Structure 1
Amino acid sequence: MRLQDKVAVVTGGAQGIGRSICETFEKQGAKVIAVDMNAAEFEQANIKGYALNVTDRAAIEVFVETIVKEYGKIDILVNNAGITRDALINKMTEDMWDAVINVNLKGVFNMTQFISPVMMENGAGSIINIASVVGEYGNVGQSNYAATKAGVIGMMKTWAKEFSRKGAAVRVNSIAPGYVNTEMMKTVPDKVLDPIRAKTMLGRLGEPQEIANAVLFLASDESSFVTGHNLSVNGGLRL
């Protein structure tokens, strides 16, 4: 198994891409903690749901102490939690901007700031930030979301440099998914999705499992010489 005895923390792990990542990790031998606003229930014994808000730094500190006390280490962190509050710039409220920045950008900073020292002390680890094609190319009505997803790519590149300075094998990468068939996407009408499919070289939306497969590669030792890299998994989409 590719993640045998690894301890993995996945934020936004209750549904969609995050849930697929948790289930994929478990199948590969990892002990998985699925972090979400509401603790998720999983059939798999080696996936534990944990209720946590990634904007609550005090709660994150307690969470990390709890996990390290129980498992002795954290090998993998997937920063997947994210929200959208879409509007054109002239209609976007400050609350809409702040909500997305706090979860999608500061939340990633918070989780990494508390968990990376555990990895550094252990001498190894893999951190994967879930970005977006929107963070690479922008998108109408998503100034806040685009800023956060571009930001997590920038933080990834910075952390890849910081965490390797003292010889620790703590790797940091990101994945930029295109449009994926999640529950949220099922509410979008075909008149919106059809142009996206037409702009995608493979002619379809992605599946959560396809994103999880890419995350698995970056989490595993198969990518042991990969750090500071943003992997686009978008079927050839160009916005």
Structure 2
Amino acid sequence: MRNLLPGLIANTEQGLADRHVCLRRYGPGRLVLEGYDRPGLFYIQHGRMELLITTADGNERCMRILAESDLFGLECLHAGATVPGYQVRAITYSSVVHVDVELLDLWLATVPEFRHRLAARIAADIARLEQEREKTVAFSVAERLVCYLRCGETCAHLSPAPPEPAGPLPMAILARRIGCSPAYLSRAVRKLAQQGVVQRVNHLPRIDRMENFSPCPCSVVPEGGELRHALRRSA
């Protein structure tokens, strides 16, 4: 979608685009979905955001860090969709393009490439959510942290492209992303730093030497470490 969606917008008749496409900018901490009275697809033109749900115990959980060219709002394609069960909040200064559902319907009917790539995107998002559920259940906080620092938002078995390490996140956001409290995260970082698995850069955990880790995103702990094979417990 990185090039396709901007191209579709650019090639849409000006009057149609004026009615169905808008660009908004958000500062850090701003909620994106507030103030929209029409359903539609959101495309991040610039910036980083967190997609949040509220857990049963009332805590926020970040399900994904969104960045340039990422989409959200796909539930608008379901006729019965009302209010989404999540929020999106800006981490950095961000620009977001909103395309309302009337124009999406037109593209789905007339642009086969858009239809096929959107279906592939929905399938990938479903697979990613299932992976997220499995990791939350099976992996410890330290294991989830190492996997996220190594692989970012894309694990190798979900994408043919090499995983991209996660960009630095404030500790509070990182805790929400891997599904733990800040206190649990601090303990995990301290433990991994003592083992030499991660180091702190400007007080944030980072993996310094990626070449020391297996290319498989779920077996990323160095040989001989205490957490050896910890991310592949079923092996």
TM-score of the aligned structures, taking structure 2 as reference length: 0.29
TM-score (normalizing by structure 1): 0.29
Structure with bigger gyration radius: 2
